[in-house]
Structure 1
């Protein structure tokens, strides 16, 4: 039992130390196909930013509500223009870091797996689901 817990906890990995926003930019995606970002040029990793829903402050509040309602998601960092959440997979508890940089015109996004090479499209699907939820009326 203890060995199983150790193995499962190892799947979460440690958060990268380079996450966050710096001068209006989120951390670039690694070369591996387990990351999507609205701030990359690579077609396979590029995803459109999220549209604001009302003001930046209203959008931020809506994103916080949405994240609090997402299964296996935990908001771990926030300030006036930045949010970061950790999403855990259902079975092995792999952790993905999801970031939002809320600007005056739109929300830059980045979603990346901490471990592994491929994410089988999970990060892209997650951002598209969050986009849909954000666009819905509260």
Structure 2
């Protein structure tokens, strides 16, 4: 009985080692260009398997001076929210709205894993992708000229908790915007 447990644990290990040895032998003799191409293709394939991007929301944008409200889940923050869990302060600017927009856009463009999806006169929408698992968060900015503020909303597409990632992101953007 004791030997059968050892054999059952050794078999998968031996199989794994033999597979790795075969892969090593194959790539050791493979032309470098093919090996390079394969490694980049396989990396992309593995990343896509573990990607949790979700579907881009169709209801984003500004309607009557308001961004979409946060859902009931805690993985969203908004400067226009009234409840404590989702509330975050808007960004403040002391320049012309167009200058503030340009500065904000520059901050977003310099941010790793950020991609600007849409921009209009007073609105900017970007997607932020987590490096490890490919989770996508939708982040919106609305230049509220009447109030002299930039309203913000950052929401995760998937899951319930973001472990504070959306709040941290907005605070990081605020720091960079104010510097």
| Partner of residue 122, structure 1 | 165
- Do the aligned partners of residues 3 and 60 (structure 1) sit closer, same or farther apart at CA in structure 2, a change above 3 Å counting? closer
Render the CA deviation track for 1:77-124: whole Å, top value 9, x for unaligned. 000000000000010110000000002110000000000100000000
Q: Give the helix-richer structure, 1 or 2.
A: 2
TM-score, normalization: structure 2? 0.72
Judge conservation of contact 1:53–1:134 (CA < 8 Å) in 2. Answer: no
SS in 1 for 2:102: helix
Instruction: Tell me which protein shows more strand as a share of its residues.
Output: 1
**Unaligned runs of at least 5 residues, structure 2:** 1-41
Q: Residue 8 of structure 1 aligns with which residue?
A: 50
Higher relative contact order (CA 8 A, sep 6+): 1
What do you get for the CA RMSD once the two structures are aligned? 1.3
What residue number does 2:105 align with?
A: 64
CA–CA distance in 2 between the matches of 1:58 and 1:77?
A: 18
Which structure has the larger Rg? 2
Number of aligned positions between the proteins: 135
* Residues in 1 aligned to 2:106 and 2:67: alpha-carbon distance in whole angstroms: 22
Q: TM-score, normalised by structure 1?
A: 0.93
